[in-house]
């Protein structure tokens, strides 16, 4: 963490190309986040302050260079790219802070849960997006239900479990995927890997949607009505 706090915060990065600026910033962020498991939330706050200060500094540099060289200058373009990269890094730190300070849902020994947040490409939370599970054939897994994201973009699907006719507890499903619809009930996300669910545990999964939220296809028939945010469907 100390390495991140001392990472060259006085540099303007105007000599770097946009790709180099992104690489330098991501390197510092990765160093800090690698230590999250052994540090307190206050250390994460400090990391966030480093990037916020950097955004302020780089924004001033952009304004100064624009006045001196004009908005089309290569120096201005590089500095503006560094501002964008730093803002993205600061947003990612806030996401990590949120994850480390929230409490996981309580799960029964025979059940499981998947929880997290849905963000846009700028790491901003998305509200009233519908999160649900599908199988490998994209069939809606109705037994596990669905949930709309709240104002923080948070969702929780908590399955209490069930028992078979012989009283045995079925294992957690091994081949299910997360899917998300937007506020227009359009399918905008499907996970490419099955969830690693386990009985008695809660799996944390944050979802960041790509720029433009491309529509992926038709909704499963069973989810089409309930995916409407204003739906009164049962």
How long, in residues, is the chain? 234
135 and 79, same structural domain? no
134 and 72, same structural domain? no
Residue 179 near residue 185 (C-beta atoms within 8 A)? no
In the DSSP assignment, the letter for residue 139 is -
Q: Which of 78, 101, 124 is the last residue of a domain?
A: 101
- b/e string for 25-40 if b means 16 or more Cβ within 10 A? beebbeebbeebeeee
Residue 117 near residue 101 (C-beta atoms within 8 A)? no
Q: Is the dihedral of CA 38, 44, 46, 48 positive or negative?
A: positive
Q: Which of 101, 128, 156 is the last residue of a domain?
A: 101
pLDDT in tens, 37-85: 545 566 666 776 777 788 788 888 888 888 888 888 888 888 888 877 7
Q: Is 38 helix (H, G, I), strand (E, B) or coil?
A: helix
27-36, 116-125, 143-152, 205-214: which range is least confident on average?
27-36
Would you say residue 230 lies in a domain? Answer: no
For residue 215, what is the domain's CATH number?
A: 2.60.40.1120
Structural domain span for residue 20: 2-101
Number of domains making up the chain: 2
At 199, the pLDDT band (50, 70, 90 cuts) reads very high
Q: Which of 101, 130, 163 is the last residue of a domain?
A: 101
pLDDT in tens, 75-117: 888 888 887 777 667 666 666 666 666 778 999 999 999 999 9
Would you say residue 168 lies in a domain? Answer: yes
Q: What pLDDT score was predicted for residue 71?
A: 83
136 and 38, same structural domain? no
At 231, the pLDDT band (50, 70, 90 cuts) reads very low
Q: What pLDDT score was predicted for residue 46?
A: 74
Spatial CA neighbour of 183 closest among 234, 218, 227: 227
The bridge status of strand 154-159 relative to strand 112-119 is antiparallel
206 and 117, same structural domain? yes
Q: What pLDDT score was predicted for residue 189?
A: 92
Provide the H-helix boundaries in 108-200.
Answer: none
């Amino acid at each position: 963490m100390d390495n991140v706090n001392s990472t060259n915060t006085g540099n303007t990065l105007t000599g770097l190309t946009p790709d180099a600026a992104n690489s330098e910033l991501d390197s510092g962020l990765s160093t800090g986040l690698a230590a999250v498991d052994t540090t307190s939330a206050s250390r994460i706050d400090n990391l966030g302050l480093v990037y916020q200060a950097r955004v302020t500094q780089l924004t001033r540099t952009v304004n100064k260079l624009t006045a001196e060289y004009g908005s089309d200058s290569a120096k201005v373009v590089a500095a503006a790219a560094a501002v964008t990269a730093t803002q993205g890094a600061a947003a990612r730190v806030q996401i990590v802070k949120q994850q480390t300070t929230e409490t996981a849902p309580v799960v029964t020994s025979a059940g499981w849960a998947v929880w997290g947040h849905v963000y846009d490409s700028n790491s901003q939370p998305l509200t009233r997006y519908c999160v649900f599970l599908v199988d490998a054939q994209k069939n809606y897994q109705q037994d596990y239900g669905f949930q709309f994201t709240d104002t923080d973009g948070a969702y929780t699907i908590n399955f209490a479990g069930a028992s078979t006719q012989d009283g045995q507890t079925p294992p957690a499903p091994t081949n299910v995927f997360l899917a998300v619809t937007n506020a227009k009930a359009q399918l905008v996300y499907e996970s490419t890997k099955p969830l690693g669910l386990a009985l008695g545990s809660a799996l944390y999964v944050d979802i960041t949607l790509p720029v433009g939220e491309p529509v992926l296809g038709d909704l499963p028939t069973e989810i089409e009505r309930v995916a409407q945010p204003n739906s009164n469907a049962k």
